[in-house]
Structure 1
Amino acid sequence: MRSAGSPPPPSPRNKLRIGIPRVLNLWNTHQFWMGFLTSLGVDPRNVVFSSDTSEEQGRQFGKGRGTVDCCYPVKCISGHYGELVFGQKQKLDVLLSPMIYNLPSFLSGHVAKTLTCPRVMAAPENIKAGFIKEQDAFAEAGIKYVSPFVSLDEPRLVPKQLFAGMREAIPGLTYEETATAADAGFRALREFSDRLRKKSREVLEWCAREDRACLMVIARPYHMDPGIGHEIEVDLQAYGYPILWMQYFPIDADLMDWAFGEDIRAGHIKSAFDIRDVWPSSYSSNTNEILWGAKVAARIPWIACVIRMSSYECGMDQPTYTPVQQIVERSGTLFFSFQDLDSTKPSGSVKIRVETITHYLEKYAAAIISRKKAAAPPGCPLRPAA
């Protein structure tokens, strides 16, 4: 028997319901968190992600809890928090919103750092303020709010960080099992990324075999959110063009050697993942990948068009607009950008832009592929051997 007024005993781990906002760099690290939590004994059916971003979500769940920030991907988090706190039929026990300092990037070791945007990293604390400014909305709902600071590109640090940040939320958590769970998280993330890269390679091989054009999206991970990227790539795919996201471009050794081997042997770069020739200040993970995406898109003949997305007043993206466009266009590849994306999808202008893009592809894609093939090294591994 517990005394009156004492807190209820913690739920067993397999009964814990953990909410995670579907925002920012959770779009490219969600599999880590699923692997981590399930390794700790949390039932995956009890891990609840908020829904895709929408204006309705913000109006219903984030009203009055907003933050002063020009970055819409940060501002919209209020709606995600509110949905997890107030919009669940079955109450959550924990709201997990990690502060991710750096990211596990395929460019790690080839660039200076893989840091996240400071505004994005600090967003959980920023948004939390709107839920505790008058009353603690988390405590009133019986939800434990946890926001561990975590360096996902430094795996040896992660167990220490997550143990410190999660031990009050996970009953009986030990450092040893935290380390084991972190390993499981990284393994799940690698396996997920490998599967998507394999699918991307299959798309490229089909394009090479059929001599068909595909498009590459160069954007930040959260532009995959239909409420932030507005599904522009879906509108384009409806015209029959395969879409690749640069985050999951295949990085097999044979393809990388074919695409970048000449530059490596000439001493322009040290590896296929070196971007110092176009971006010496390689500290931001997503920015690094954006520049690398432009480089690889310029080299692959069947990528006939690049679609660049960025959000309104993104200070991290603005310095990259010109170099990315120049890298792509100097290869003869079509380049179209959707800058200053905000909460509302400008349906009319997007429709016109999509029709313009598909018109140019219909008119010029075959010639672009032909010119890029002529300029490419021999022996492309995407094409079947004769």
Structure 2
Amino acid sequence: AWGERLGVTRDESDFAVDQGWAALRAFDSEMQRRGMQLLAQLEDEGRVGILLLARPYHADPGLHHGVLDEFQALGYPVLSIRSIPKDPQWLARFFAGEGGDPLGVADVWPEAYSTNSAEKVWAAKFAARHPNLVVLDLSSFKCGHDAPTYGMIDNIVAASATPYSALHDLDANKPSGSLKIRVRTYGHTLQRHAERLQDLHAAKDELARRIEAKRRELRARARARDGEVNREEKGGLDGLATHDPASERDYAAWLGEETVPRFAPLEPTTGRACDTAATAHPITIHRRTS
């Protein structure tokens, strides 16, 4: 019936659907790539980013009432849920040792029934594990699907002491004035959080610098010690090469061995000592004393 009304064949419809899904996957991939870059930049620079927990329609300026622009004007980049990388290997860094699916929410919401609500809860879990992210939770029209998530999200971020602001009344009449006040209030909290992050970032850099300096010092000591040992070994081997009995004894002592005299062999016919025995040198018996 729809084919006749739309003037398309089934093959054309299937092709259009496939192209639509491919475009959606490409969009999500690009969003996650940019999100990964931004998260890496926040970590490298010790800065704060805002993770937005919201419905897709909150991307509309008419529905978010310019709140996102206000925060970005204060210097805090805003990430959406879709911009968080979903690669399990990448996420393992934050969910390591917890078991289960790093993209799951069954541990906090066993009976999740709404896809977008479950995404908001999962994003709160991620923000609670990322030191450079804070949370902004938006809700409009007293959304019934969002209502069950309020308490869960609040408990998740409270457990990790993640800065969190909830604006659940964006559809109020003429909200611009009150929203600006709340943005500035939350902005002050974020500024203090950013200062703590900067202090922590500087402390980590200083620790890394000291560790590297100590590593170089230990390597230099090891090289100097190895050079001294090599010189001593070379001196001992040179003494052995000249068959100097004193050098041989010194080298044996350095090795922790002992030297014993080599007795002259007897001639098999006369039973007398060989003439060479008088000039025989001691030989080293490799007998460890320790």
The TM-score with structure 1 as length reference comes to 0.50
1: CA distance, partners of 2:128 / 2:48: 13
* Maintained 8 Å contact 2:31/2:82: no
Residue of 73, 91, 95 corresponding to 1:260? 95
* CA distance in structure 1 between the aligned counterparts of 2:197 and 2:167, rounded to whole angstroms: 22
Residue 345 of structure 1: how far off its partner (Å): 4.7
- Separation in structure 1 between the aligned mates of residue 199 and residue 159 of structure 2, nearest angstrom: 15
Q: Which residue number corresponds to residue 283 of structure 1?
A: 113
Further displaced range: 352-361 or 245-254: 245-254
2:136 corresponds to 1:300:
no
Select which of 237, 240, 251 maps to 2:72. Answer: 237
- Of 191, 194, 197, 2:32 maps to 197
CA separation in 2, counterparts of 1:215 and 1:359? Answer: 14
2:150 aligned with 1:314, yes or no? Answer: no
Q: How far did residue 365 of structure 1 move?
A: 2.7
Instruction: Report if the CA contact (8 A) 2:50-2:77 is conserved.
Output: yes
What is the Cα deviation at residue 170 of structure 1? 2.4
| Structure with more contact order per residue of length (Cα contacts < 8 Å, sep ≥ 6) | 1
Structure 2 gap segments, 5+ residues each: 204-290
1:330-349 correspondence runs (5 A):
330-342=159-171, 344-349=173-178
* Residue 274 (structure 1) aligned with residue 88 (structure 2): no
CA shift for structure 1 position 176: 1.8
Is 2:24 the partner of 1:170?
no
CA distance in 1, matches of 2:157, 2:200: 14
The separation in 2 between residues aligned to 1:368 and 1:287, in whole angstroms, is: 30
Q: Secondary structure at the match of 2:47?
A: coil
Give the match for residue 23 of structure 2.
188
Structure with higher helix content: 2
Q: 1:370 to 1:170 in 2, by over 3 A?
A: farther
1:83-139 CA-partner distances (Å, limit 9, x unpaired): xxxxxxxxxxxxxxxxxxxxxxxxxxxxxxxxxxxxxxxxxxxxxxxxxxxxxxxxx
For residues 321 and 282 of structure 1, what CA distance do their matches in structure 2 show?
Answer: 13
Displacement after TM superposition at 1:366 (Å): 3.7
Give yes or no for contact 1:216–1:246 (8 Å, CA) kept in 2: yes
Bigger radius of gyration, 1 or 2? 2
Letter in 1 for 2:67: I
Count matched residues.
Answer: 202
Which secondary structure state, in structure 1, belongs to the residue aligned with residue 58 of structure 2?
helix
Q: CA deviation at 1:196?
A: 0.9
8 Å contact kept, 2:65–2:176: no
Decide whether aligned partners of structure 1 residues 256 and 360 sit closer, same or farther in structure 2, where only a CA change above 3 A counts.
same
Q: CA deviation at 1:344?
A: 4.5
Residues 342, 311 of structure 1: CA spacing in aligned structure 2 closer, same or farther, 3 A cutoff?
same
Inter-CA distance 350–306: structure 2 relative to 1 (3 Å threshold): same
TM, length-normalised to structure 2: 0.65
Matched, 1:359 2:188: yes
User: What does the per-residue CA deviation read over 1:56-81, in whole Å, with 9 as the maximum and x for residues that have no partner?
Assistant: xxxxxxxxxxxxxxxxxxxxxxxxxx
RMSD: 2.1
Q: Structure 1 regions of 5+ residues with no counterpart? A: 1-163, 265-269, 375-386
**Equivalent residues in 2 for 1:362-377 (5 A)?**
362-367=191-196
